[in-house]
Structure 1
Amino acid sequence: MSSVNVVEEWITAKDGQKLYTMSWQLSAPRARLLLVHGFGDHCSRYDELARGLVANGIETHGYDQRGWGETGKKDQSFGNNQGYDTALGDINEAIHRIKKDNVPLFVLGHSMGGGLVLNYFARGEHDGVAKITGAIASAPLVTLVEPVHPIKYHSLKLVSMVMPSFGIHVELKASDMSHDEERVEGYKTDPLVHNFTTIGTARGFLEAGNSLLKIGSKISVPILFSHGDADAINLYASSKKVYEMAASSDKEFKTWDGLYHELHNERQPERSQVIEYYSNWINQRIP
């Protein structure tokens, strides 16, 4: 197998938005995978996961979503995804960009990215859906463990209609991400990690998460749900509900006992076990 070649590139979306991308490339991949990162996150934090997938013949591609990572830094538009439909459109464009020849393509979304991926397949509005061989939803955002109080949520909804770009700060504890102290410290000190968003963006991903409990039955792609039962950010039980609703004939729910939110950044040996599990699941579904 050829060694991994990491390529960083700025690409231009159809609407002119510049997006930062990373690709962990192989000369002859058995499969390709699109990574969709989570809230306050960016694709370079998935380097160990990507390299583990590449070691198993799976070329991996990621991009920093609008409002996050290098993309948000370039625009100084921290936490503004420009609308949930726009975020789904970026996934669709990425699929068309990455899908080549007859090499099967998979999608892995984590947390907010997991919610995006689930909605992408549940809504079925984009032509890229037909190009996907399978999907992995890692600790997907369906419902928050600590939901927004109804009074606060309705206030958020009203304000978002008038000032959707108004910035807010979302409290996320670094210690809830992983048991690994080094990874937690890395999260704290990473200059590209931030907890800023806009009212419009926050409303969008909260409503989209809740909608999965109504439209989850429309998911039909082969899919793996992967969730730690000690996740203090996204509710494990809601993830399980969407799994149970999914119409996919090939579906699996993997519970990671005692693990926190970022499974791919957990302590060892569990971190390597997660990467191996994903690699095996993908390789077993390559035609």
Structure 2
Amino acid sequence: MTEAHEHVLTGTRGRLAAREWTTGPPRYVALLVHGYGEHIGRYDEVAGVLTDHGAAVYGVDHIGHGRSDGERVLIEDFEDVVTDVHTLAERARTAHPDLPLVVIGHSMGGLIASRYAQRHPGGPAALVLSGPVIGDWELPRRLLAHDEIPDVPISPAALSRDPAVGAAYAADPLVWHGPMKRPTLEAFVRTLDAVAEGGDVGGLPLLWVHGDDDRLVPLPGSRVGVERLAGGGLTERICPGARHEVFHETNRAEVFRDVTDFLDGVLAR
């Protein structure tokens, strides 16, 4: 049975709530990087799949998210968030110094994970991006064009075809349900540009999973960024009919199998 342990880290802008999931002796470390407005507690099922596959799994609530410090959903510089993720990665490496590290980022977490891979070449053994905010994501610039940022809440129905996922999201007190904030939107624009200009990740194995009915982070815009980021090791899995959160979709067993099969190939090298 997977056990979750809570940790507190000192981040770049305050205290961070982190979580570690373990079962038996691991064969690799998986670092989960969550998306905008949510928290790492929404990844218990993913963590369970990965621990059953032989991973020691770690994740952190980003600054301004979940149980971590900071004004809600205020991120002034994503480079600080990348540094916070690295702090957690170093903690994991200290606990498991001889194991390969896999970084798995969803949505905004895909942007952070991509930047992490650029800033730490030779660090991760593999990169997994789920519905990543990368490439031509138009929302930040569209919202910034307004004098006052409009409140455009995320529709729970846009997350998954499973209505229970949307209901749980809407009822979750640790999820942000208010408007986006101008400094965060400006930081998104800068970091999208930084990743676009930061070069590819060389031969780092990269798995991209995306729903073809993703209305929050449309697939065509992400493709531009993923193909620019990938070196020679891109594997893609596009899920017909799936929405934004493929790890919470009705076909998530298939998605999990895609992830573990990909990681088996990486770990066998």
TM-score w.r.t. the length of structure 2 is 0.89
Do structure 1's residue 274 and structure 2's residue 266 form an aligned pair? no
2:207 to 224, 233, 237: 224
Task: Kindly provide the CA deviation profile for residues 22-43 of structure 1, in whole angstroms up to 9, marking residues without a partner as x.
Answer: 1111331111100110011100
Unaligned runs of 5+ in 1: 160-166
Determine if the alignment matches structure 1 residue 191 to structure 2 residue 211.
no
Question: Is 2:223 the partner of 1:240?
Answer: yes
Corresponding position of 1:153: 144
Structure 2 counterpart of 1:8: 6
Q: Which residue of 2 aligns with 1:105?
A: 101
Please list, as runs of the form range in 1=range in 2, the aligned pairs for 1:1-287 lying within 5 A after superposition. 3-13=1-11, 15=12, 17-72=14-69, 75=70, 77-99=71-93, 100-122=96-118, 124=119, 128-142=120-134, 143-144=136-137, 148-149=141-142, 153-154=144-145, 169-196=151-178, 197-212=180-195, 214-215=196-197, 217-220=199-202, 221-267=204-250, 270-286=251-267, 287=269
Q: Aligned pair in 2 of structure 1 residues 60, 49: CA closer, same or farther (>3 Å)?
A: same
Q: Report how many residues are paired.
A: 263
Question: Is 2:132–2:217's contact at 8 Å kept on the other side of the alignment?
Answer: yes
The alignment's C-alpha RMSD in Å is 2.2
CA distance in 2: counterparts of 1:274 and 1:148, whole angstroms: 31
The letter of the residue matching 1:136 is V
Hey, what's the Cα distance between the residues in 2 that align with 1:25 and 1:35? Answer: 14
Residue 146 of structure 1 deviates from its aligned partner by 5.1
Cα displacement (A) at 1:120: 2.4
Structure 1 residues 47, 239: CA separation in 2 closer, same or farther (over 3 Å shift)?
A: same
Q: State how far apart, in whole Å, the 2-side matches of 1:192 and 1:168 are.
A: 22
CA 1:84–1:146: 2 relative to 1, 3 Å: closer
1:180-203 CA deviation, whole Å, 9 max, x = no partner?
Answer: 011110011011111444311121
Unaligned 5+ segments in structure 2 are: none
Task: Give the aligned residue type for 2:10.
Answer: T
Q: Work out the CA distance in 2 between the residues paired with 1:219 and 1:195.
A: 34
Residues of 2 paired with 1:4 and 1:58: CA distance? 11
- Relative to structure 1, the CA distance from residue 169 to residue 79 in structure 2 (aligned partners, 3 Å threshold; closer, same or farther) is farther
1:45–1:255 distance in 2 versus 1, CA, 3 Å: same
- Take 1:231 and 1:135, find their aligned partners in 2: how far apart are those partners? 21
User: How far apart, in 2, do the equivalents of 1:9 and 1:147 lie?
Assistant: 32
Specify the SS of the correspondent of 1:71.
coil
Q: Name the % identity.
A: 25
TM-score by length of 1: 0.84
Shift in alpha-carbon separation, 1:82–1:246, aligned structure 2, 3 A = closer
